[in-house]
Amino acid sequence: MKAVCIHGFDAVPLLEEVPWVALHEVARLQAGEQVLVTGASGAVGSLAM
């Protein structure tokens, strides 16, 4: 069995905040509006999905 390194897992909440800030505070997304997410292969993009 391979050991799991936990260093870096403390950054996950910060990564989850990036899409939230972009959609709600920068773009001012409102209820009922739609967003097209492209290029969601990285950490932030996959969390945005």
* Residue 42 amino acid letter: G
Residue 4 lies in a domain: no
Mean pLDDT of the 7-21 span? 72
Residue 44 lies in a domain: yes
* Domain that residue 38 falls in: 12-48
CA triplet 9, 13, 14: central angle to 5 degrees? 100
Q: How many domains does the chain have?
A: 1
Residue 33 lies in a domain: yes
Residue 22 lies in a domain: yes
Q: The tokens of 36 are what?
A: 């097209």
| Chain center to CA of 49 | 7
Residue 7 lies in a domain: no
Residue 3 lies in a domain: no
Q: What is the pLDDT of residues 20-37, one digit of tens each?
A: 888 889 989 899 999 887
- Per-residue CA distances from 38 to 1, 18, 24, 29, 30 (Å): 36, 15, 18, 17, 20
Answer with the residue of higher pLDDT: 26 or 47.
26
Q: Is the pLDDT of residue 12 over 90?
A: no
Answer with the residue of higher pLDDT: 35 or 5.
35
Answer with the residue of higher pLDDT: 31 or 49.
31
Residue 1 lies in a domain: no
Residue 6 lies in a domain: no
